[in-house]
Chain A
Amino acid sequence: MERHLIDWQALLSAFHILGSSYSAWLLTIPGIALGMLGGAIPGVSSALILAIVLPATLWMSLLSALIFMTAIYTGAAFGVAIPAILMGVPGSPAAVATSFDGYPMTQRGEHNLALGLALAASTLGHMGAYLILFLGIGAISHAVLKLGPLEMLLLMLWGLTLIAALRGRYVSRSLLSGLIGILIATIGLSPRDVIRGTFNLPELLDGVPIVPAMIGLFAASELFNLAGTSYLVQRSDLRNVSVREIARGMLQALHHPIVILRGLIIGATIGGLPGVGAAVCNLVSYAETRRGDKHPESFGKGNPKGVIAAEAGNASSEAGSMATLLALGIPGGASSAVMLAALSLHDVTSGPQFLDASKDIVYAIILNNFVQGAIMLVLGLGLIGLMANVIRIPVRVLIPVILALATFGSYGLSGNMTGPATMVVFGFIGWFMQRHDYSVPACVVGLILGGKVETTLLQTYQISGGGQLGYFAGRPIAMVLLALLLFSLFSRPIMKWWRARRTTLVDAAQEDAVKSV
């Protein structure tokens, strides 16, 4: 594969294609709007919207089809943040971390600010990651190839450490919730072909459907909590929709370039790993920002940086998965699998040959995505201005509406009553957990990552010949990841202990000195 940074000839040709094809542009705006609206409905994933529009792309040119689909992808990546922030119910696993700080901000009456932060972080993450893609699509796809099961396992574990951070009043109960989440994730056919915990229900062979379960847990724990109140935002003077405040949030996001940069690097690189996707980027970016912060305890209580990190992480994962899809022909997740199907409908086999032969089309997609970022900013401003009005809806109306939407969404995901049934069961579990101070987010993190951790752990065990140390020593990237993981876990307590010890030593020395005088 060609390794030089930019193929100018292809770039020129890309400008030409985009300049002469108005249909591709005509599809960009409806694509983003469709994605955003769909993403905002809990349970409707970008993969579902893409699957629905897939047959329509047959009548489009290849470029138009790809642009339409990436526009939906882009819109949905931000859309999922809206219910996460406004109602504490993430529309997909990709926005779980967004709700950690976004929803507390809403409860404080800072919903405008939070939505503005999310929109700006999403846009910047999206555009930044596409810039990285533009500069080195080949390099990114090769970087992805260098990550084996061990590296993926460490990344998942990194996300899993969030469980300890997401604690309520009792640390032990949060750890237990995380463990319960992981255990629920093990239901069904294991990677070693063992059927576990299905109670002989064939519906459970594929495990508990994660998204309906997640919606049930969040919706029940947050919404039932609200049942006694009248509005989402308690103070009536804060119950407003202010474009000025949204704009202020957008500007505020710019004050945290490091947080955004961290998110987009995480998204652009690990977003493309098969089976990793936006949810892990969202969690890892959040976890890292929280840990790197001077006041980690302020996260989860409405820290704007939490929203920025989470959104920058998931928005940039699109570029990562496009890199592996276009350069290697490997879908990183469900959405890109549908795009791969769209490519094949157009008789195109994506992969190294496609990248070499059709670099102009790849560049045209990337260039269009820069513009998509700008369009999303405008459309998003309009949409969140509209959506933020939910805070004016009385809770007694809002709760049934959200539950109904979520039920339809879960039905859409499973195509039968399994989805809604799962949602209801987990609704009760969520309500019980919330009532007794068991952290619901910790359980969801366990639920999302549990299965992936098991698969990569098994593969690591197999590939290393049963855990032989020689394999681990020969994986420098894994060693760096492990060192970073250990550092981020233990640096703070060790520093604390060391400081405390030094203080006591100094104190003791001073006492000795005083005595000797």
Chain B
Amino acid sequence: MTGSKNTRLIGRRPLLWMLAGAASAGSFSTRRALADSWPTEPITIVVSTKAGGGFDHMARNLAPALSKELGVPVNVLDKPGGAMVLGTKYFLSQPHDGNTLLVSGPSPYWYTDINKFHAGYDLKDFDILNVQWADKTGVFVPKAGRLQSFKAIVDAIKAQPGTVSCGVVRDSGEFFNAGILIESLKLPPSAIRLVTYEASAPLRTAIAGDQLDFGMVSLEASLGMLSLINPVAVFNDTRIPEIPDTPTVNELLKPDGITVEFVPSSMRALITYADLKEKHPDQYARLHDAYKKVLHDPDFIAKAKKQGIATDWLGAEQSLEKIKAAYAIFDKHKTLLSAQ
């Protein structure tokens, strides 16, 4: 598949040279032709988490489609560790030429990296091509759990503070949302037993096994486990079509006159370097267009949907706005970062 594309590309280059000559527009056309031939080398998507998670999932799903569009192989390289710092730093250390891309979590993980671990990078070092997958926070209880509704959870926390256990992935959007929820209920952080997990898979296992009273975990990736866990609330502005009977958290808190200003769960984005657009505008445009085309291809969308992978297209500007809006909420709850 990629091979045939490659041969076609090589065939196209002499043609472009001829065209350039015919137009005799001097050096401008020649440079233009060279840029048009990009990419000529395989492209690598660096993923800043372990294989098997949502980020890796998204990258591996994207790679063959991008490869088809760009005509070169697209490989996925997992560089996990240090709460996404290692993979992100590795990406920044590569030549800024468009041959390396990054799939990472600008929100909430980078927020913690920047503000707590002083990772040494900032949003302005990147060009967020698109936040393709902004998951939502779901509140789940074990099928056999003692608390079977959001109200039961809140009542239990209020009646006996410090007895209800809640699992979250550390530094995740859910970790913040749990803190925000407790704050909005005017309770101290010690009102719940917050149990921190390294990743969402062991957390879902713990909810399914009735180890926790409830867990807050990224929603879409949890839908495959609905025979073991019950959703009782979603942190979203509207209900989710897959679980239409599960109310939103603000619907549930309305009788108490409370509105929670929550943050999105993991944002999974395809990212390039901030200076690519300026240094190699044609490369940037080609990459951008290829990615945009993939995300608008109905076949790709259908296939991704089957795997539970979102294919949202916000574009660079809106994506950055979305991230900055989330950062503004994080800033209000910055104390949560040191509360663990």
Contacts and interface: CB of A to CB of B under 8 A. Distances in A.
A463 B193 contact: yes
B187 interface: no
A145 interface: yes
Nearest to B212: A463
A351 B224 contact: yes
Nearest to A194: B340
Contacts of B258: none
Nearest to A339: B52
B152 interface: no
Given A148-B209, A462-B196, A351 B225 contact: yes
A65 to B, nearest CB: 14
A192 interface: yes
Contacts of B112: 193
B320 interface: no
Contacts of B57: 341, 344
A1 B227 contact: yes
Most B CB within 10 A of own CB, among A192, A337, A338: A337
Interface in B266-290: none
B136 interface: no
B329 interface: no
A340 B171 CA distance: 24
A368 to B, nearest CB: 23
A206 B60 contact: no
Contacts of A193: 83, 112, 116, 170-171, 340
A149 B198 CA distance: 13
Contact of B307 (A1, A349, A465): A349
Contacts of A207: 81
Contacts, number: 125
A242 interface: no
Nearest to B202: A274
A274 B201 contact: yes
Nearest to A455: B198
Interface in A168-200: 188-189, 191-193, 195
A351 B224 CA distance: 7
A202 interface: yes
Contacts of A145: 205, 208-210, 228
B57 to A, nearest CB: 6
Contacts of A192: 196, 340
Contact of A328 (B61, B81, B198, B225): B225
B228 A347 contact: no
Interface in B46-75: 50-53, 56-57, 60-61
Contacts of A353: 224, 227
B211 interface: yes
Interface in B181-234: 193-198, 201-202, 204-206, 208-212, 224-225, 227-228
Nearest to B56: A341
A8 to B, nearest CB: 23
A205 interface: yes
A202 B81 CA distance: 10
A487 B52 CA distance: 39
A128 B65 CA distance: 43
Given A205-B82, A331-B52, A462-B194, A349 B209 contact: no
A328 B228 contact: yes
Given A202-B89, A341-B51, A195 B225 contact: no
Nearest to A58: B64
B162 interface: yes
B86 interface: yes
A329 interface: yes
A464 B193 CA distance: 8
B163 interface: yes
A334 B82 CA distance: 17
B202 A275 contact: yes
B87 to A, nearest CB: 10
Given A351-B225, A458-B196, A340 B85 contact: no
A281 B56 CA distance: 28
B201 A459 contact: no
A496 interface: no
B224 A337 contact: no
A358 to B, nearest CB: 14
A352 B227 contact: yes
B3 to A, nearest CB: 14
Given A337-B53, A463-B193, 12 more contacts: A145-B209, A189-B117, A193-B83, A193-B171, A202-B85, A205-B85, A352-B228, A353-B224, A353-B227, A455-B198, A458-B196, A465-B165
The 7 closest A-B CB pairs, nearest first, are A206-B81, A205-B82, A337-B52, A145-B209, A148-B211, A274-B202, A352-B227
Interface of B: 50-53, 56-57, 60-61, 77, 79-83, 85-86, 89, 112, 116-117, 162-163, 165, 170-171, 193-198, 201-202, 204-206, 208-212, 224-225, 227-228, 303, 306-308, 340
17 contacts: A145-B205, A189-B82, A191-B170, A205-B82, A205-B85, A274-B201, A274-B202, A331-B52, A344-B60, A344-B61, A347-B306, A352-B225, A458-B196, A462-B196, A463-B165, A463-B212, A464-B193
